[in-house]
Amino acid sequence: MKILHTSDWHLGRSLYGRKRYDEFEKFLGWLAQVVAEQKIDVLLVSGDIFDTSTPSNKAQRLYYEFLCKVGQTVCRHVVIVGGNHDSPTFLNAPRELLQALNVHVVGSKTEKIKDEVLELRDSQGNPEAIVGAVSYLRDRDIRTSEIGESFEDKNAKLIEGLRQHYADVYQLASQKRQEFFAKSGRLIPFIATGHLFTDGGKVVKNDGVRELYVGTLVHIKQDLFPEEIDYLALGHLHVPQKVGSKEHFRYSGSPLPMGFNESNQQKIVLVVEFAENKPEVSKLKVPVFQELMQISGNSEQIVDEISKLKKAGSKAWLEIEFTGKDSSKYLRGELEKAIEDTELEILKIQNRAREEKFLQQAGEVKTLKDLNVFQVFQKKLDNEDLEEQERKELSLCYREIVQEIHESDTNAE
């Protein structure tokens, strides 16, 4: 059995306002071709299929066209679970219809655990794998609040809720495996999915990876997952990586760079082959569909780098950081002239000299665009006469409100 593991497509995401539909379309076309050429039996997508809970018509079209293409290959099953960016209601809406294409969708925690334990069958109709299709587990799905509980108690309950959910999924999966083993004498693999942030996970600055749970004490360690999982297909972190020392616990990472800080990162999808329930994991490099480049320096250095790109016929999107001492108010005009008659495109210019000059004049004053929503709230608290405990409780309440906003399913009735 051959599995392909991918996640974090973020269909519909833009970069500094620039739409990226051409990239998404090329990636999905490439992925469908890989599924066909590699003779993939099972495709696993571990969350964040879309970038928002209300994806555009174009993003939806790309998604459904891709599923139709995969349905025409030898791939027997597609398993899709929701991420924190996805709307569970939106993903689940066509679930029954998609089952006709052997596409199994689990948008969120289900009412019955059996709906998250999928029995995948081979071309002869025999069970070939059990998949614990665990989506992003929202705080309210796995933890009940109590009056007067401490910050630490909330975190402990959250961890225990995650652990218990995976234990429940494994218990039912184990039962199904044993039943089939008793009939056939063959032990089929148990594969689980997830969309979460494990302890020690690598991230890249400004990659858009959002804190999933309120507070900073939530550390999801690898021992939270049942040891009996033969392969764990995770999503949420955009950097491909193992979980701790586990070769078979993996993040596939995002297939496209979500920002310029990921531009030098090799994007991959993971192919997993099972031989006697032992997974062999290999990486497939995702082609670069749109080059992103960061250029830093003074005016002369930046223009020189652009000239090199121009000679090479580059079509890169550029993020430029001006670090010269002169604030150069004509910088944008100079750079726009430098890219004339090319297919280069400047998406952002950051003028460090001008910013530093402004900050020196303004002291500690910062604009709202320099602060995230939590920093704004902390500045508000700085202006209030509060005890430390009051400040801590208000910060926690505020984080819970922000999380509730992020996790609200606008498609639900």
pLDDT in tens, the chain (413 residues): 999 999 999 999 999 999 999 999 999 999 999 999 999 999 999 999 999 999 999 999 999 999 999 999 999 999 999 999 999 999 999 999 999 889 999 999 999 999 999 999 998 999 999 999 999 998 888 887 777 777 777 888 888 999 999 999 999 999 999 999 999 989 999 999 999 999 888 887 766 565 555 444 456 888 999 999 999 999 999 999 999 889 999 999 999 999 999 999 999 999 999 987 789 999 999 999 999 999 999 888 999 999 999 999 999 999 999 988 765 667 888 899 999 999 999 999 988 655 555 545 445 555 555 666 777 777 777 777 777 777 777 777 777 676 666 666 666 55
Encoded tokens for 215: 């507070």
Distances in Å between the Cα of 70 and the Cα atoms of 39, 73, 303 are 11, 5, 45
Encoded tokens for 327: 């604030």
Contact 246, 281 (CB under 8 A): no
Can you tell me the distance from the alpha carbon of 147 to that of 10, in angstroms, rounded to the nearest whole number? 37
User: What is the b/e burial string over 40-52, where b = at least 16 CB atoms within 10 angstroms of the residue's CB?
Assistant: bbbbbbbbbbbbb
DSSP at 287: P
**What type of residue is 105?**
V
Can you tell me the distance from the alpha carbon of 86 to that of 101, in angstroms, rounded to the nearest whole number? 21
Q: Is the pTM of this model over 0.75?
A: yes
User: Tokens 């991420």, residue?
Assistant: 83
Contact 108, 80 (CB under 8 A): no
**SS3 sequence of 64-87:** HHHHHHHHCCCCCEEEEECCCCCC
The whole-number pLDDT of residue 219 equals 65
Phi, psi (rounded to 5 degrees) for 320: -115, 130
Q: Which distant-in-sequence residues (6+ apart) come within 8 Å of 381 by Cβ?
A: 391, 394, 395
Cα–Cα nearest to 267, from 321, 347, 207, 310: 207
Can you tell me the distance from the alpha carbon of 129 to that of 189, in angstroms, rounded to the nearest whole number? 5
User: Tokens 């083993």, residue?
Assistant: 181
Encoded tokens for 195: 């969309």
The whole-number pLDDT of residue 216 equals 44
Can you tell me the distance from the alpha carbon of 396 to that of 380, in angstroms, rounded to the nearest whole number? 14
Region of 390 please: left (phi>0), alpha (psi -120 to 50) or beta.
alpha
Contact 200, 12 (CB under 8 A): no
Handedness of CA 231, 235, 241, 244 (dihedral sign): negative
The whole-number pLDDT of residue 214 equals 45
State how far Cα 203 lies from the chain centre.
Answer: 11
Tell how strand 246-251 and strand 241-243 pair up: antiparallel
User: Tokens 């090799």, residue?
Assistant: 266
Tell how strand 231-235 and strand 246-251 pair up: parallel
